[in-house]
Amino acid sequence: MRQTLVAGNWKLNGSLESIKQLVAGITAGAGDTGNTQIAVCPPFVYIPLVSNLLADSKVDVGSQDISDQEYGAFTGEVSGPMLKDFNCTYAIVGHSERRALYGEDDAFTARKFAAARKFGLIPILCVGETLEEREQGITEDVVARQLDAVIELEGIDAIGDAVIAYEPVWAIGTGKTASPQQAQDVHAFIRGKLAGLNPGVADKVQILYGGSVKGSNAEELFAMADIDGGLIGGASLDAGDFLAICKAGN
Ligand code: PEP
């Protein structure tokens, strides 16, 4: 039985004061979220603070990105060992905003995935199609291509030590959620594809759904057989809504 994981992606939001308040709100209610695993992914500069504040809680910390490099002349980058220094557990790789706005392609995302693993972080690999790709009927091709880049570099077993987040780009930050069945169809495709390579990995890997998840729609999404939790953007900035999503995981 896979545990439910709810991970908040705070993106480029928050200030010193608002983040302290958000963390206080989350820690106040985290104890009432049953077995749901919880993680938050703050902007890099707030990771030391958030890690400290969450040290005695059940909430893990992740990064929104990671360098594919370990150290050296790579201005602006943050490496796996640096993230480990501040107790990060997870690193998001291949978020659609990184892919679309910063030109990060499948191969680069695969190298970031590899870097996360190499330095002891659990990669949260984001995959998903744009609206145009869905309308062309190539959703599965796109998702398969994004997964294959990682499998080719790291091997199928590596997926078993990672988390996958299916995030249809048309549902991110738009208020348009994929219906539970639309999401389940793609999750089942992903698990089926992995099962063809290694059934144990397919059975083990948590596949999260992301795209306008809120307290009001989380339960019906998480009830689907192959949806093991969520990657949450906007709603993770509100402690009450985020905790409601976490509770829906039980
Ligand atoms: C995300 O960016 O990972 C995301 C799912 O955003 P939102 O929940 O705001 O759609």
**Ligand 1 centroid to residue 135 C-alpha, Å:** 21
Please enumerate in sequence order all residues whose Cβ is within 8 A of that of 244, keeping only pairs 6 or more positions apart, or say none: 215, 218
Model confidence at 175, pLDDT cuts 50, 70, 90, reads: confident
Model confidence at 147, pLDDT cuts 50, 70, 90, reads: very high
Number of the ligand 1 atom closest to the C-alpha atom of 9 = 3
Look up the pTM and report it: 0.98
* Helix and strand numbers, DSSP H then E, in the chain: 12, 8
Span 63-120, pLDDT tens digits: 999 999 999 999 999 999 999 999 999 999 999 999 999 999 999 999 999 999 999 9
231 pocket-lining for ligand 1 (C-beta < 6 Å): yes
Q: Is the dihedral of CA 4, 59, 121, 20 positive or negative?
A: positive
What distance in Å separates the CA atoms of residue 62 and residue 40, rounded to the nearest whole number? 6
- Between 11 and 178, residue with greater pLDDT: 11
Please enumerate in sequence order all residues whose Cβ is within 8 A of that of 135, keeping only pairs 6 or more positions apart, or say none: none
Looking at every residue in the chain, the average pLDDT score rounds to 97
Please enumerate in sequence order all residues whose Cβ is within 8 A of that of 132, keeping only pairs 6 or more positions apart, or say none: none
In order of their start, the domains of the chain are 5-247 (3.20.20.70)
Which whole-number Å values give the CA distances from 69 to 74, 85, 146, 196, in the listed order?
8, 16, 21, 32
Residue 124: what pLDDT? 99
Residue 60: what pLDDT? 98
**Ligand 1 centroid to residue 73 C-alpha, Å:** 32
155 assigned ligand-binding residue: no
72 assigned ligand-binding residue: no
Q: Which of 6, 172, 174, 221 to mutate to test the pocket of ligand 1 (most atoms within 8 A of CB)?
A: 172
pLDDT of residue 4 exceeding 90: yes
Residue 245: what pLDDT? 98
Span 202-243, pLDDT tens digits: 999 999 999 999 999 999 999 999 999 999 999 999 999 999
